[in-house]
């Protein structure tokens, strides 16, 4: 990270912690060990901690994910993303365009389809997150 006060959120996610603290994290790699290190650094905040990240996608997700301990805000900032939530055994699809958001409730499996390219901002209650193949 540079010495300036600004940073690229897509490269350096932040953690919203107890005491209204915002902590810039190490450079995001997308690997599971990055999430493990993040979890170890922030575990004292428990279920109240939030990961804020921004990702650009050019292909559908190949997994489903679920956050059992809290809600997740998903905000489309560019392009279009179709988010699918698994609710009551049904797949509920919502197309988000730039500026539109949705909340993934706790315990709801979700995935996303991308037709071209899309960028989304996520505010995630990550404790206990689970992943499964699509």
Confidence grade of residue 107 (pLDDT, cut at 50, 70, 90): very high
| CATH value at residue 97 | 2.60.120.10
- Which domain range does residue 85 map to? 14-133
Confidence grade of residue 1 (pLDDT, cut at 50, 70, 90): low
Looking at the structure of the chain, the number of domains it has is 1
The neighbour count for residue 101, using CB atoms within 10 Å, is 14
**Per-residue confidence (pLDDT) for residue 67, from 0 to 100:** 97
The pTM of the full predicted model, rounded to 2 decimals, is 0.93
Asked, for residue 2, whether it belongs to a domain, the answer is no
**Per-residue confidence (pLDDT) for residue 3, from 0 to 100:** 60
pLDDT tens profile 22-46: 999 999 998 989 999 999 999 999 9
Asked, for residue 66, whether it belongs to a domain, the answer is yes
The neighbour count for residue 93, using CB atoms within 10 Å, is 12
Asked, for residue 8, whether it belongs to a domain, the answer is no
Asked, for residue 5, whether it belongs to a domain, the answer is no
**In the predicted model, what is the mean pLDDT of residues 75-97?**
97
């Amino acid at each position: 990270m540079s010495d300036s006060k600004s940073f690229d959120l897509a490269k350096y996610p932040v953690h919203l912690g107890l005491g209204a603290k915002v902590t810039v994290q190490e450079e995001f790699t997308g690997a599971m060990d990055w999430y493990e290190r993040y979890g170890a650094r922030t575990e004292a905040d428990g279920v109240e901690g939030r990961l804020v990240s921004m990702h650009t996608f050019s292909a559908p997700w190949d997994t489903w994910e679920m956050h059992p301990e809290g809600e997740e805000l998903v905000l489309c900032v560019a392009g279009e993303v179709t988010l699918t939530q698994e609710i009551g055994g049904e797949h509920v699809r919502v197309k988000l365009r730039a500026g539109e958001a949705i909340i993934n409730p706790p315990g709801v499996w979700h995935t996303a389809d991308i037709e071209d390219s899309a960028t989304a901002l996520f505010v995630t209650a990550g404790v206990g997150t689970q992943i499964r193949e699509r």
